[in-house]
Every structure is written in C-alpha cells, then in structure tokens.
Chains A and B, each alone.
Chain A
Amino acid sequence: MTRVLDQTVEPVGRNRSRVGRIASALPIGVRGIRTSTAALPTGLSVLGFLVLISLTSALWTPYSPTATGTGPVSAAPTGAHWFGTDSVGSDVFSRTVAAGRTDVLYTLTVVAIALLVGSVWGAIVGYFGGWLEWATLRLLEVVQAFPALLMVLFIISIVGPGTINVILVAAIIPLPDFVRLARAEVLTKKNWQFAEAARMVGNRPMVVLFKHLMPNSLRPLLAYASISAAWVVGSIAALGYIGLGIQPDAVEWGSMIARGQSDVMAGDWWESFFPGIGILLLAIGFQLVGDGLSSHRGEER
C-alpha cells in the first residue's frame, strides 16, 4: 500500500531540479492552502498595465529615450522629468518605459520558446519512454547541475552576444523544467480511460498525445510558464547588468541599472531605482498569475 503510494509520489516529491521542485511542490502545497482568489486578477492587471505602458511607449514617450540633454544633467525627479534625468541628461522616465518594452518582449519570447520546445519534448519522451526518455533525463540532470545564471553567461561568452543568442540561451534554463513537467503530466495521464478510449477508436499515438492528452495539461504548464517568466525577467536583466549579450548602452532595465551605478554611489538614486521597480513589478505580475493558475487548479480538485 505505502509502496504503491511512494512510487506514484516519487517523480514529484524527489524531483532533481531546483525550480522544478518548487513547481512540483505546488499541486501538493496548494491543495491545503486557502489561496487568495485575488492572485490571478491582481497578477493579470499588473501585467496588463505593464504591457499597456510598453505598447504606449512604442508610439509616444515624453522625450526620446535615447536623446541626451533633454534637461539639466543628473536632476532629481521633478514635474518635467518624472523620474529625473541621468548623467547625460536623458529622461529616466522615457528610458524606463521604453526599456520595459525590451524586457517584456524578451521575457515573453524566451518563455514561449521554452514552453513550446520543452512541453513537446517532455510529452514525447513521457508517452513513448524508452532510451530517449532515459537519455533525456540524464541530460537534464547534467544541465541542471550547472549554476543557472553562470551557465547562461558562460555560453553567451562563447557564442557571442546578440538578441537571438541571448533569447535562445536564456531559454535553456527553464527548458528542463518544462520537459519534466510535461513528461510527468503525460506519464500520469497516458493510461487514464479517456486516453485509452482515444487509442481504442484508432487514433495514432501523436494524435492521442497532442489532441487528447496535452490539452488536459495546459493549465499546469501555463502556470509554470508564468512562474518561470518571473525568473527569466531577472536573468534578462542580469545579462543586461553585466553587459554580456545585451549591449551596455541598450535601452533595457538591467543595462540602465548598470549605467546608473556610479551615479547611485554619488547619491543620484533615481537612475537605477526605477528600472529595478520595473523588474520587480513584471516579475511579481508573472508570479501572481502563476500562483493564481496553479491554485485554481487545486480548488477544482
């Protein structure tokens, strides 16, 4: 009895991945939590607000984000410059909102790639098993033994900077967790009656997998996508901060923080403060949506 129980619990409870452990703890943890139902709407409105600002910034910002000398140099926030100006007189508000566009876009692309590739890969190895599954799991173990951020920096320093490289390399980090999650989802569901029925009427394996099984796993995958997005926001910013991959003078939150660093040490806090708040809001938004999606799932059960 306990034996059977342990075996079904094992892939979840003793997951090897760092983030995966948190994610896989969710369905268990959440079951007991009286979750605030406000998480999902709050998260969605935070994200909606940021996306709206980003879209607006593409059409209009008070000053050009790249223009210098829009006002006095290194001025504290005023009515004319809401977030102040930096050491070359650029408007920090315009730069912050324009940078948000970069970060939102990068994050969504990275997560979309990881989600798509990871869940297809995980679903296939989960459904068919065999040596491919074994090799996948071993590979994931190896990849996840590397310190995440450092691996990104390491690979970027080798393959060179550039938008495409940064996006592809950053997608490697959340990828293993999507593979594991999709695999676990398919493993638990592939022998359920509806899957059996779908096979029985003569559907081919791929059809059963992607038309009947995967749609049932969409919610946990999306919940995890949102949670990992919060992590991706931070690593994109970290890449910009270090100046590897994303150009140091790019209009991006991490790069802005790095550029303002010496000014902050001279007392001008605003140049680095506001981009940080941007990162914080975006990450919290994703986190809340992820929490909301996964706890909603818990309530259904």
Chain B
Amino acid sequence: MAVETTGLLSLRGFAVPGFVRQVRRRLAGAFLVVFGVVTLTFLFTRVFAADPTTLLAPPNATAAERAAVRSRLGLGDPLPVQYFHYLGDLLHGNLGTSYLTGRPVTSDLLERLPATAELATYALILGILGGVTAGVLAAVFEGSIFDRMLRVVTSAGLALPQFWVALMLLWFFFVKFGLLPGPTGRLPIGMAPPPTVTGFYLIDSVVTGHLSDFGPALAQLCLPVLTLSSGVWAPLARGARSAMVLALKSDYVRTARALGLSRRRIWFVYALRNALLPVITMLAGAVAWAFSGSVLVEGAFGWPGVGHYALSALEGSDFPAVEGFVLYASILYVIVYQLLDLAYYLADPRIRS
C-alpha cells in the first residue's frame, strides 16, 4: 500500500505514506501510554486508596449503611468488573461524580477549563517569546555581560518555587504598593463576567462590547501570567541558547560566513531556523504543563481553573475529581507531546529516513 502512492502524493519532497505511517505508529504509541495511565490511576484509587465510605457515610453509620454506599458507588463488585465499568465510563467521557460538588467531574473540568486556558495562553506566549529571544541573543553575544547575567537569571528562574514567587509578587504589587488587584480570581469580587463567546474574558469583553470588563480582567491576569510564565521562559531560554550556540559553531554557518553573507542573515536565517528545531520538543512539556493549570499558581491567586479544582479535590480527598484531573492532564501531555514530535518530524528532514 505504501508503494502504490509513493511519488504520486508527495508533500515538500517526502512521500505521504511515510507520514501516514508515522501518524499511525504514534497513535498506537500514544494509545498504549494512555491505556497505561488509565490502568495505573485505577489501581491507585481502587486498590490503595482509603475507603470512600468514611467520607460519604455519616460517621456513626452502621456496617449495612456503609455497604449500601459502597454498592451505590459500584465498589462492591470484584476488581476486574469495576475495571471494565471504569473503562466503559471513560469511553463515554464519564469521569465519575465528584464527592464534593456532587456533579460529573467532566462538566466540572470543562467549566473551569476556559480560565486555565486564558491564563496558560498568555503565559505561554510571554514565556516562549521572552525565553527564545533571550536565549538566542545570549548565544549571539556569547560570553557578554548579557549572556552571563542571563545565566544567573535563568538559574534563579529554574530554582524559584512558584508559590513563593506568587506570594512575593502579591506582596509587592498588591499589599505594598496597591498597583495591581489582589488574588480574587478572574475579576474583582462582585463584577459580572462578559457574556461567554470564547471563554477568554479579554477577548469576550471586546467581542461583546463589554469594554468595562477589559481593564479589570487584564489587571487580574497580570500577576498570575507573570508567575506562570517564569516557569516557561527559564528552561526555554537555556534550551534556545545552547541550541543556537551549537548552530553558530556549525559547519554551515562557517561556510555561510566564508561566502561573505551578512551576519544578520547568518544569525536569523541560517542559524536560527536550525536552532529552533530542538526547542520545539521542549515546548511539549511547557504547553501541557501550562494547560493542566499549575496547581500551586492557580491556588495562590484564587484562579478558578482546573488546577485550583484539583487542589481543593486533593485537600478534600475527592478521589473521582483528582482522578479525573490526573487523567485529563496526562492525556493532554501525551497528545501535545505526540503532536509536537510530529511537527518536529515534519520540520526536520534529517529524521525522516
């Protein structure tokens, strides 16, 4: 089958069947990992976890009442049966019912996703642009003061605990100088959100004409975005720097230099394109991490996203909710990773052999 279409359909010089095979192989790999994640989560919560009846039944409940709770939750069945029910539910998008909110975990998560997505999007944009720019500049001016300063700053950026950064930023900008609002979530308390179009308050307030929401929403976003992006830009700056340094030392750059091309052309056309390739793979972790809502950052700012949800679920021993969130985050990671790996495959002709 692969042979039939070779040469007929080719995209930028490589055969499409090769691409299809790649996609298929990756899908199979991703499926295996997701299956493993699901199984491991199941084992953890059903085999090792504390008895949920202690949470759901009144403290003075009789053994019979506890048994009733157990069978209502489907915990009375043998493990393999529970496992099959669990898999079936998952295939229907059913992550169970939260003990705390009493609602399906899936709808709880979906409801909170826009908040996380808005925060993650801006933090990623800021982090990626800042990190890659700083890293590339440091490599171009290798050994300069800027390069050395950046080395120190990225070390600190990698080492800083984000819950502490959040707290200190809040102290400085909110408590001390009152420049930015406090940790009250996406809008000041008592303010109505703009009508939902995209779920992003900044975009929605413009699109629906509720411009009065734009300013406050932007102000609320500043500190969480800054905190979250600090976790993105530091590793990217390091990665971009070492990739760019390597590219600048390569034979093709030396050749380009020997041919008398301008420095700017060499840096930004030849070296940069090659240096950015390895950075693509580094992005997977950052993207997945930001979209699974940094648990601690969202917690610190009272941001009503999925990370905050997971944190309160953890504190309240709400296992279905924690389980649902863990599944969401790991599946997201697998998907993002595979997609970016595929992008890498498309962008780098050397690994398409």
User: CB within 8 Å of B: which residues of A?
Assistant: 2-3, 6, 13-14, 16, 18, 21-22, 25, 28-34, 36, 138-139, 141-143, 145-147, 149-151, 153-155, 157-159, 230, 233-234, 237-238, 241-242, 244, 254, 257, 261, 264-267, 269, 272-273, 275-276, 279-280, 283-284, 287-288, 291
Contacts and interface: CB of A to CB of B under 8 A. Distances in A.
B168 A276 contact: yes
A29 B242 contact: yes
Given A25-B243, A267-B176, A284-B159, 17 more contacts: A2-B350, A14-B281, A31-B246, A36-B148, A142-B40, A146-B333, A147-B289, A150-B329, A238-B161, A238-B163, A242-B314, A254-B163, A276-B164, A280-B156, A280-B161, A287-B159, A288-B155
12 contacts: A25-B278, A34-B143, A36-B148, A142-B33, A146-B333, A147-B292, A150-B310, A154-B326, A237-B161, A265-B170, A269-B171, A275-B164
Given A6-B351, A283-B159, A22 B281 contact: no
Interface in B219-274: 235, 238-239, 242-243, 245-246, 248-249
A267 to B, nearest CB: 5
Contacts of A33: 142, 242, 245
A145 B330 contact: yes
A6 B353 contact: yes
A258 B39 CA distance: 34
3 shortest interchain CB distances as A-B pairs: A29-B242, A283-B159, A142-B36
B346 interface: no
Main secondary structure of the interface of B (DSSP, over half): helix
Nearest to B182: A265
Interface residues of B, number: 67
B347 interface: no
B68 interface: no
B48 interface: yes
A174 to B, nearest CB: 15
A150 B325 contact: yes
Main secondary structure of the interface of A (DSSP, over half): helix
B206 to A, nearest CB: 32
A55 to B, nearest CB: 22
Interface in B310-328: 310-311, 314-315, 317, 322, 325-326
Contacts of B170: 264-265
Contacts of B84: none
Nearest to B329: A147
Nearest to B39: A142
A290 to B, nearest CB: 10
Contacts of A238: 161, 163, 296
Contacts of B155: 284, 287-288, 291
A230 B238 CA distance: 16
Given A29-B243, A142-B33, A158-B49, A265 B289 contact: no
Contacts of A230: 158-159
Of A2, A230, A280, A291, the most chain B CB neighbours within 10 A belong to: A280
Contact of A276 (B161, B288, B322): B161
Interface string B162-180: 0110011011000110000
